Amino acid sequence: MLKKVLKNGLLLAFALLCIAYPIYILIIRPGFFHGPFSASSNHAMYQELVIWLLVMLIGLRWKNLNWIYAVVIVFSYAHVMLLPMALAIGYTLLTYLIGAYICEKLKWHSKGNIQLGAYFLGMVILTILYAVLSLLRIGSIRNLRIVDALLLILFGVWFLKRQSTPVRTWWKKNTVSANVYMKVAVVVCFVFLMIGRANVSVDVDSAWYGLRSAYVLDNQIGIFEDLKLVGCVYTYPKGYEVYQLPLSGLPSYGYVYAGNIVMAIMVLLVVYKIARLFMNSEQSMWVMIMVAAIPGIMNMGITAKPDIMTLLIQLLQVYYSILLLQKREALYLGLVGATYIYAQSLKPTAVMFSTTLVIALLFVIIVYRVKVGWNKNSLILWIVSGIDLAFIWYRTYLLTGIPATSVWGRLFRMLGMQEKYPYASGQISQFRPGGLFSQEVIQGTLTRMKEFFFAPNSADTDHIIIAWGSSLCIFFVVIALAGALVNVRHTVAILKKNAVACFLGLLLVGEFVGCVLCLWVLSKPDGNYFMLFYCIVAMVGAIYLQRILIQQKVFVSNMVYLIFVLFIPTNIVLTGCGNWAWAGAFNPIDWVNRGFANHEQDTKRAWKAQGCDKIYDIMVADRSNKVLGYAIHPNVELIPCVMESEQDVSFWGNAALTATTENFREFVEYENYDYIFISNEYITPESGAYSYMDDLIDAGMVKNVVTENGFLLLEMGTPDDTHSKEEMKQQYHSVWEEEPEE
């Protein structure tokens, strides 16, 4: 008895340490979260969240989930996200219906556990459809929306007419137990942290490329249009952006964010489905809550980046890998391979962590002699995903002369392929300079690891904190490791006879090694690199605690669930203190709104408030205007036209293009810009770029010069008799002499 009390006491003590340490380091001390947490707007957000939770708990009287759904609708409307969420849910429904139709026609629906596979297949088919329309030069976003609307009607009618599937309506009772109701309400609180902050979470990367697909990916005719944008982010694999195209190019950024929020919810659904393979529904919901409590996962739901979609596809790969080992169906083999192939069209770093998944699975199949055949179903899935990836890589090849420019790009360069002018993304390195085995690097890596697990709080880990897994991860790592080591015989016995247990163990170890490698070799690791690790740790840890350690009576169930409950408010605070955009408060409530926030109008007002009125209107008069911007990155790129910042070209593109006057002139001529936009606060008469513009005027490449309150617009083209070169140069130089209007 004393031994059991001691074990449970140590478990609680370690959990309290994992909770208290980051709060002390990050909030109480002047850490990264001290400022955001101290803000009155942040306090108001937490208070409002408590109120919404209490409103949801009113439904405990009926224990009907429809009450929670109604609260979500009201919350979304109050925070001006109702229409974006509705459209994103409709798009998700279309995605599923397309996949479900194909699965039924191929008689896959009878295999079981195929619903998520249908959703995945719908993603692939839609991406291929958009690519085909682009090849036909009719792939404008407007056309894609029309096609999607027609498909939704078509497949919606098909679904409603199916006699084999009863239609559940909103007014039908959806009664659950009190425990399930409470757990759903807790998960919804984390969803509220996404919806409530979506309109105020425009981060650097999203503003740079994720929100600009209508200008940098599919401007007029489709995704294969060569816009000649040099920045490395424009040549990344664009599977995520292509799938999200129908939600792009609208006045509100909320539509793109809503798409990611829905995918974050789908991540939680997949986590629940994985847990259900090992335990009952209520235990599985605890696993889902623990994943929802990880800031580095849920906060990535309010970016316009491919991270959450990549995680979703990787978790589907995990789900179908487990089913493959359990049921040994060829269809699951096809889905494992298809999800791996599709992941390569998303985030570039997916290759590292997705390949770890494949290696772990292959090892288990070989060692445990798992007999898995393949048939035409497997082949169909591989071919369809391969076609999708081929289209995405074909776009990059058309632009750069190489199918992939990031991780896979190294392989293509080794095979002798080279990027064509003006691209040079191979020159951009994210690795540490110098020797990796030097004392300084080793010490730095150990410090990174300590902060990564307990509390990132230095300049070296400032990119980790914005997508941090929290100390919940180290809690699960230590508990899983300690539990396995304390009862080695039982652990070995399980691993000998259970291929799935071995797979999950190898996966956990493999993802951990991948994290350590990233912390070691990268000059500036980002927290979003480790999202799959966060998820695997939380899943495996929560499953292991409930499925093994509680059943073996190593720990008391009440103690474990008490610890889970203690982590929830702690991680709500950590999640709310910051995200990729450092947005630490809800968008203000507005009870009279149109259902969406007009970010495009906000951008226009912001530039005009700076005195950039006439010039702004000239640039956005035609959304296909191509502009080189010498202004703050990425703010300048939010101007709704084909805008490329100077940093895109020089720092994130090819530094040689702006190294000399001749190089710059050649580059501008190649790019065929319509305008060059300049802020007099961005370049000075002493900078090289200042003289470059003089050279363009002298070379007869500038047609007109427009000035306005410290802003300058060079209209490119052959000069006419209206303005002489000297007049244009004089007007250009005057921008650094005039006083801005008050």
pLDDT in tens, 242-278: 999 999 999 999 999 999 999 999 999 999 999 999 9
The two three-digit tokens of residue 712, written as one number? 């300058």
* Interaxial angle between packed helices 376-400 and 115-135, expressed in degrees from 0 to 180 and rounded to the nearest 10: 40
Q: Tell me if 741 is assigned to some domain.
A: no
Write the single-letter amino acid at 565. V
Q: What is the pLDDT of residues 136-156, one digit of tens each?
A: 999 999 999 999 999 999 999
Place of tokens 């363009």: 696
pLDDT digits (tens, 9 = 90+) for 86-124: 999 999 999 999 999 999 999 887 677 889 999 999 999
Q: Where is the domain boundary, 577, 610, 631? A: 577
199 and 265 both lie in a single domain:
yes
Residue 553 shares a structural domain with residue 689:
no
Q: How confident is the model at residue 699 (pLDDT cuts 50, 70, 90)?
A: very high
What is the maximum span of the chain, computed from C-alpha positions, in angstroms? 98
* In-domain check, residue 28: yes
DSSP string, 112-136: SS-HHHHHHHHHHHHHHHHHHHHHT
For the segment 692-704, the average pLDDT, to the nearest whole number, is: 95
* 103's tokens: 């699965």
Q: What is the mean pLDDT of residues 361-373?
A: 92
Q: Which residues contact 707 (CB under 8 A, 6 or more apart)?
A: 713, 731, 732, 734, 735, 738
Peptide bond into 422 cis (omega under 30): yes
Number of domains within the chain: 2
Whether residues 516 and 628 fall in one domain: no
* pLDDT average, residue stretch 575-588: 92
pLDDT at 619: 98
pLDDT recorded at residue 674: 97
DSSP string, 398-453: HHHSSS-SSHHHHHHHHTT--PPTT--GGG---BPSS-TTSHHHHHHHHHHHHHHH
In a domain, 536, yes or no: yes
Query: Are 341 and 454 part of one and the same domain?
Result: yes
Mean pLDDT of 453-465: 94
The predicted structure's pLDDT at residue 573: 97
- Cα 574 from Cα 563, distance rounded (Å): 17
563 and 644: one domain?
Answer: no
Residue 352 lies in a domain: yes
What pLDDT is stored for residue 739 in this prediction?
Answer: 55
3-state secondary structure of 81: coil
- Specify whether the CB–CB gap between 167 and 160 falls below 8 A: yes
Task: Give the Cα separation of 314 and 608 in Å (integer).
Answer: 44
- pLDDT of amino acid 110: 67
Spatial CB neighbours of 550, under 8 Å, sequence gap ≥ 6: 556, 557, 560
What is the model's pTM?
0.96
In the predicted model, is pLDDT for residue 165 greater than 60? no
Given pLDDT bands bounded at 50, 70 and 90, which one contains residue 742?
very low
- Please report whether residue 584 resides in a domain: no
As a whole number, mean pLDDT of residues 667-674 equals 96
Tens digit of each residue's pLDDT (9 = 90 or more) over 679-690: 999 998 988 899
Write out pLDDT tens, residues 273-309: 999 999 999 999 999 999 999 999 999 999 999 999 9
Model confidence at 602: pLDDT above 50? yes
Half-sphere exposure of residue 724: CA atoms within 13 angstroms, side-chain side: 3
Q: Distance of CA 696 to CAs 541, 580, 628, 692, 732, Å? A: 62, 39, 13, 6, 12
The residues pairing with 702 across neighbouring beta strands, listed in sequence order, are 716
Tell me the residue range of the domain where 346 lies: 2-577
Question: Residues 322, 469: one domain?
Answer: yes
Contact 370, 499 (CB under 8 A): yes
If one compares 167 and 252, the residue with the highest pLDDT of the two is 252
Residue 593 belongs to some domain of the structure: no
Q: How many CB atoms lie within 10 A of CB 327?
A: 13
Residues 481 and 626 grouped into a single domain? no
User: What would the DSSP string read from start to end of 338-366?
Assistant: HHHHHHTTS-TTHHHHHHHHHHHHHHHHH
Contact predicate 622/608, CB 8 Å: no
Residue type for position 72: V
Q: Which is more confidently placed, 249 or 172?
A: 249
Closest residue by Cα to residue 192 from 36, 78, 60, 35? 78
Q: How far apart are CA 101 and CA 85, in angstroms?
A: 24
Asked if pLDDT for residue 741 goes beyond 60, the answer is no
Q: What is the dihedral of CA 321, 131, 638, 694, to 10 degrees?
A: 130
Domain co-membership, 224 together with 337: yes
End-to-end Cα spacing for the chain: 78
Cα torsion for 167, 168, 169, 170, to the nearest 10°? -150
- Report the alpha-carbon distance of residue 557 to residue 536 in Å, rounded: 22
Q: Residue 587 domain-assigned? A: no
**Preceding peptide of 569 cis, ω within 30°:** no
Tokens of 137: 């030069």
Are the C-beta atoms of residues 294 and 472 closer than 8 Å to each other?
yes
pLDDT at 426 over 80: no
Identify the domain boundary among 521, 546, 577: 577
pLDDT of residue 722: 81
483 and 605 part of one domain: no
pLDDT on residue 104: 92
pLDDT in tens, 6-57: 989 999 999 999 999 999 999 999 899 999 999 999 999 999 999 999 999 9
Q: How far apart are CA 317 and CA 300, in angstroms?
A: 20
- Give the separation between CA 344 and CA 527, rounded to whole angstroms: 20
Question: Residues 6 or more apart from 239 whose CB is under 8 A from it?
Answer: 127, 306, 342, 345, 346, 388, 389, 392
Last residue of a domain, one of 577, 608, 632: 577
The runs of H, that is alpha helices, within 522-613 are: 531-544, 557-577, 599-609
- Both 556 and 629 in a single domain? no
Dist CA 56 CA 65 (whole Å): 9
Collect all residues with Cβ–Cβ distance below 8 Å to 572 and sequence separation of at least 6: 46, 49, 189, 190, 193, 293
The whole-chain average pLDDT of the chain stands at 93
Are 553 and 622 found together in one domain?
no
Asked if residue 739 is part of any domain, the answer here is no
Residues 690 and 555 in one domain: no
